[in-house]
Each structure stands twice: as structure tokens, then as C-alpha cells.
Amino acid sequence: MSQGAPGALEKSEKRPQSVLFACSMNAVRSPMAEGIAKYLFGREIYFASAGVRHGELDGFAVTAMDEIGIDMSRHKPHTFEDLEDSSFDLIITLSPEAHHRALEFTRTMAVDVVYWPTIDPTAVQGSREAMLDAYRGVRDGLQTRIKALLDWRAIGRL
């Protein structure tokens, strides 16, 4: 990957054709990233997500994504072992545990593995609104990074 702007592709670098987002339980961060990426890029790029361990879909994640028009309610959390295909051009890890697992998973493959430290919003305590704000922060941060990394342009912009 490039050494320039954090996460941005150099002009000479091609956009990856397949991206895996990984986190601890595939219940919040990685499915949010997958949903955002699919929403922005459609079928132009293949996106998937996985976790290190099995988790259960998180209602706050579903709500935060619904606020921006992305339905995550049918997502079924799964692990690296559940993946139907293991050939990705890029794996983006969102937790230290997922980063270690992705490096182990790809040790014999030519795959770029990038770590994006992303807070776990499930750790936030307080009112419902405070907790939902933590999920919104993760969602918005992921959206910004995905757009920057994959050089997203809104239709009509030059």
C-alpha cells in the first residue's frame, strides 16, 4: 500500500477487486464496514466480512446503519472458517485479535493486510443515546476511511 496519505491509493495502484473486513465477532464493526462498502460501490468490488469468534448481530449496529439507509438486519455473523472464498486482494482488520488472525490466515498468500484500529462501541456505558453515539462514531469513521482508501467519488463530481 502507499506511503502517502493514510489509507489512500497511489495513482499507480489499482483498486482491489475483493476486500474482507474482519473484527472480533463479526457483529458490529466488520459488518458495518461491509454494508457501507457495498452501499458505496455496489458490485464494482466484492466485499465480505468475518470475525475471529462467532457473535450475535447487535441491535445498536442495525439501528446506526438504518439511520444512513443501510439494512443490516439480515446479517448472519460468521468466522474466517465460514468464508466460502479465501482469495482477497485486501483484508482490513478492525481489532487487534482480527489482525493477528488475518496474518495467520494469509501467511502463505499474497494478500495485503491492513490494520485500522477501531474502538469497540459495545464497551461504551451510559444512556441509550450515549451508546448509540458510539456506534454512529464507528460507522462514520469507517465510512470516511473506506471512501478515502478506495477513492470514492459521488456521481456528478469531477
Confidence of residue 113 (pLDDT cuts 50, 70, 90): very high
Class of domain 18-149: alpha beta
Residue-level length of the chain: 158
Average pLDDT, the chain: 89
pTM equals 0.87
Q: What is the pLDDT of residue 77?
A: 96
Does 42 have pLDDT greater than 50?
yes
Residue 50, SS3 per DSSP: strand
> What digits encode the pLDDT tens for the residues 62-111?
999 999 999 999 999 999 999 988 889 999 999 999 999 999 999 988 89
Ordered DSSP codes for 95-146: SHHHHHHHHHHTTTS--EEEE-----GGG--S-HHHHHHHHHHHHHHHHHHH
Q: What is the pLDDT of residue 109?
A: 87
Averaged pLDDT for residues 128-146:
97
Averaged pLDDT for residues 131-146:
97
Top pLDDT among 136 and 11 is at 136
